[in-house]
Amino acid sequence: MKYLIVDLEATCSDDDSITSDEMEIIEIGACWATESGQVVHRFQHFVKPLVNPFLTPFCTALTGIAQTDLNTAPFYSVVAERLKDFVEAYRAPDSIWMSWGSYDLKQLIRESTLHNVELPIALPHENAKKTFAKFQKIGKQVGMAKACELVGRPLTGQHHRGLDDAENIAGLLPWILGHRHTKNAA
């Protein structure tokens, strides 16, 4: 079975100038991975926001994404089509897609509605954060960085960057799927 791991970065602020309902995707990172966490195909694209086209200093500091990265980026409708092609090129009949939490699914739905385009991923979704907590019997859901710490995997790349975070989540697949366990798991 192959797993599609998706991580989105979006416009954000630390002063409520951009509410959670107003956030727009600025980067899509995705990778296809095996059950063992081996990444076999990668996808990364910047997305030009439509409603709030200028990044806040907070967003740039958090993600490392610069305004110049987005100035010439295509809008979501174009990137969604590219993502759809990436998904279809490598999917298997039993493939699913995962994200760390439900945010990425909700944001893809919101963005697809805003741009009046079809959802780019036609696969069942699984909340990797919830599944990790369940199989590792840790009681509460934790952030992706904390999950890496719990299993003894260092974060690679830059945290809060789409492809880097997708690849870190892929590395957690043996624990997400319950094939391996943390020291705290029963």
Residue 61 within any structural domain of the chain: yes
* In a domain? residue 182: no
Per residue in 50-70, pLDDT (tens digit) is 999 999 999 999 999 999 999
DSSP 151-163: HT----S-TT-HH
Structural domain includes residue 183 = no
Number of domains composing the chain: 1
Predicted TM-score (pTM) of the model is 0.96
Residue 44 within any structural domain of the chain: yes
pLDDT digits (tens, 9 = 90+) for 68-100: 999 999 999 999 999 999 999 999 999 999 999
Looking at the domain assignment, is residue 159 inside a domain? no
Q: Which helix (H) or strand (E) holds 68?
A: helix 67-71
Instruction: Give a three-class secondary structure readout of 2-39.
Output: CEEEEEEEECCCCCCCCCHHHCCEEEEEEEEECCCCCE
Beta bridge partners of 48: 75
Residue 50 and residue 158: Cα distance in Å, rounded? 25
- DSSP codes joined into one string, 100-148: SSSHHHHHHHHHHHHTT---S--S-EEEHHHHHHHHHT-SS---HHHHH
Q: Please, are residues 112 and 119 in contact by the beta-carbon 8 Å criterion? A: yes
Q: What is the pLDDT of residue 186?
A: 46
Is residue 51 in some structural domain?
yes
Asked, for residue 107, whether it belongs to a domain, the answer is yes
Residue 134 lies in a domain: no
Which CATH number do you get for residue 25? 3.30.420.10
Range of the domain at 30: 3-129
